[in-house]
Structure 1
Amino acid sequence: MTTEQLPHTHARAQDGTVLAYQRHGVGRPLVLLAGQANNHHWWDGVRQDFHATHSTITLDYRGTGDSGKPDGPYSTRVFADDVIAVLDDLGIDRADVYGTSMGGRVAQWLAIRHPDRVGRLILGCTSPGGPHALERDAGVRRALAQPDLAAAREALLHLMYTPAWLAGHPGPYTTLGDPGMPPHARRGHLIASNEHDAWDALPQISAPTLILHGDQDRLTPPNNAPLLASRIPDSRTHLFPGARHAYFQECRPLAGALATEFLTDR
């Protein structure tokens, strides 16, 4: 199947915020949702793996990339409504959805609040949020919050990837945050992710769901995967041995194959 690219274009959110989005490939639409404080480049290394069966749709969250950067609001529910605005602009009634990290939290609300718009759902390296979620440990929080920005970035790099993978992949890395985000938007994304809590609503998800996670993920501990599975009725789980947060890159051949098999199993 040939790959076609839709020129970068824009939708409008309900509050008028400009939302930049990108569509590549042909076939059944697959929405790919990035992690906190990242733009669509999060998916650069792997999105082409889906183009044999799907077209891929990404967006720059409000506050990132070429999208508007309002003072607010920022929440995973708002981000989910922004995805619907993009689908509406494209004239797409129903799409498969693959969300990782904060994108997995956004994907939860998409499937809960807009069940008719979501075909199959993949939740990667994410959590239900709220008091039931298993949070990262205090050492991780301190490492990411340290005032030395270079040291904080290095800490994040090693939370995303194992030393063995980094040794063979010297970068550049597209999963360490959007450097062009203004401070207010970065704070907004942090608040959105931290305040996410879909626990009570997760049983409403009707889409078949695949939950993926690295079993050495300290950024979002892997025991969140069985928690999600216990709340989502039609779900299955796969853990990647030895993988950290960015399992979708480090374990790309297997992760891509599992995701594609699930998305095409109809």
Structure 2
Amino acid sequence: MLRPLIAAVLAASLLAPAALAQGRARDNAVVSASVMSSREPLDACGGRNLLDAAVPDGPFLEACKFHDACYRSGVLDQGVCDADFLHDMRGACDTNWPKATAAGKHAACEVAAYTYYRAVNSRFGSMLYPRGVTEGQLGAVTQTVSKGLNGTRHFEACAEARNASNRKLRYLLTLHDAKGEWVATAPGLSSLSLQPGETKTLCAGTSVSWFRSAENIGEAYALTLKVDDPSTINPFGDLVGVDRLDCESASGRCQRVAPR
């Protein structure tokens, strides 16, 4: 059981493109100097007290020190700090255990690096990122009407969702009809995680309900972008409306209004 698990984690780590494909933001001398000025003596992989024993530094001490300072400085957003962190840890793996001479140890190091990366590039890391903001923006909207299996005409609206904040956040899109009644939420059973500046499309429609269809949406509908605010310690999350578009069903024209 352990070998397949390690293999899966390693494969996932090799698919994480941000850190190696684009190089490090810290290679910019001005950025690096600004981050380094925020370092503190006790910076480490586990932080302080109990966490320092629970999360060993290993070969990643320098990477962890820079990552702590990167968060504290606010010079780079969380996503870039985390990408540099992964890049630095992989570099430490290459230095300490080259693939050509220590393939097994190198693979284990890569697994550890990706595990550390996933621990910070998360809701937990977003909560720890100082001066983090909670924002998001809806972009272009498209709408379609199609027939379901039973011949019922179903309505679906899709909108671009953009993380306009400086930390990784999880988003949901809600669809309400002309009367303000809830119709659907997308994604249905989870949320969409976006890095700072990342944009993806979310779609919500009537096909998920036995009682809703294109006929009872009404002349207008509302799309609201909601985000799980990591600033709270609520284990079930705290959804905050960050953007809203009110749209006409006939024309598809939308206007931005304050979210409720």
TM-score, normalised to structure 2, is 0.27
Q: Which has the larger radius of gyration?
A: 2
More strand by share: 2
Name the structure, 1 or 2, with higher relative contact order (CA <8 Å, separation 6+): 1
